[in-house]
Structure 1
Amino acid sequence: MTIVTEEESSRVAARAVERLRLAEARLARRRQTDCGPSENARAAMRLILERADEGATVTPTEIAQALGVSTASVTGMLDRLHAGGLIGFVANPADRRSKFVVPFDRTSDADAVDPVTARIREFALDLPEGAADHVVEFLDRVREVVDAECR
């Protein structure tokens, strides 16, 4: 019988996170060239669809803030999404200089924009009772380290 110590299991978890990070990086590179909209464009579409589902609006500036990118890069991304028939723009009645970003096709499913997220949600349903809280805590700590890097 093999006994796995806490230290060994923590190394196993750290290696699993590193494999995940490498897979995410490979996916991001593939999406830049082979798979349609970039990761940021997919994230923007999810935000636009979620806001529309809530009956709320979103501006390009809010999208830039949510994604942590410049408004200039969001402008180019939104132009490409608009040219692709995924979004439209409507004037902000409260501020004529501002516009809202709206989805063209409200039958679109936010999960269809990013099927990886949909699959991950399916897997999360299989987590044992109580495990989700531990996974969330661990992944949030990993995310904080990643977000703090190079700032």
Structure 2
Amino acid sequence: MTIEIDDDQATAAARAVERLRLAEARLARRRQTDCGPSENARAAMRLILERADAGTGVTPTEIAQALAISTASVTGMLDRLHAGGLIGFVANPSDRRSKYVVPFDRDADPDAIDPVTARIREFALALPEDTAGQLAAFLDRVREVVDAECA
């Protein structure tokens, strides 16, 4: 049941963001048990693909730092991604003691890794350019508030 309340545009936007945050939390819980790779595994894959596209490597330690999780958790996650054929490892040429994590198949569709992002991109392409810019700026400010909480 949805309760409709007449509010000004700013309050409506704030409530929409709160509904989005709740939906993201529910999705994260479902992904932990029901539907494929965890949110951390998806975030790691995005980082690995971004670094590969930029022509740089990423180490397991850097993944742990970027995701703010333990290196032990990253090791288990990378083992599962490797077993699933999504990643491989290559020696770090500047430090033979470490390794880089690389995607196995660069022809893989990144939207298949996170289909929610693909759908959101579709919606964003339909926005007028000035609206898309304003929305992006607003959401970046929201993200900054979320990132700063309990930091």
What is the TM-score when the length of structure 1 is the normalising length?
0.89
1:50–1:110 contact (8 Å) kept in structure 2: no
Other-structure match for 2:15: 15
Percent same amino acid at aligned positions? 82
**For 2:130 and 2:70, how far apart are their aligned partners in 1?**
39
Counterpart residue type for residue 133 of structure 2: D
**For 1:136 and 1:49, how far apart are their aligned partners in 2?**
22
**For 1:142 and 1:50, how far apart are their aligned partners in 2?**
23
Which structure has more relative contact order (CA 8 Å, sep 6+)? It is: 1
Deviations 1:46-102 (A, max 9, x none): 121222233322111221222222222212211111122211111112211100101
Deviations 1:11-54 (A, max 9, x none): 11111001101110111011100111101100111121222233
Structure 2, gaps ≥5 residues long: 1-5
**For 1:96 and 1:37, how far apart are their aligned partners in 2?**
30
**For 1:82 and 1:64, how far apart are their aligned partners in 2?**
16
**For 1:141 and 1:55, how far apart are their aligned partners in 2?**
30
1:87–1:103 contact (8 Å) kept in structure 2: yes
Other-structure match for 1:122: 122
* C-alpha RMSD of matched pairs (Å): 1.6
* Of 64-73 and 123-132, the range deviating more from structure 2: 64-73
Find out whether 1:150 has 2:150 as its counterpart. yes
Other-structure match for 2:52: 52
Q: 1:102 to 1:129 in 2, by over 3 A?
A: closer
User: Which secondary structure does the structure 1 equivalent of 2:126 belong to?
Assistant: coil
Counterpart residue type for residue 99 of structure 2: K
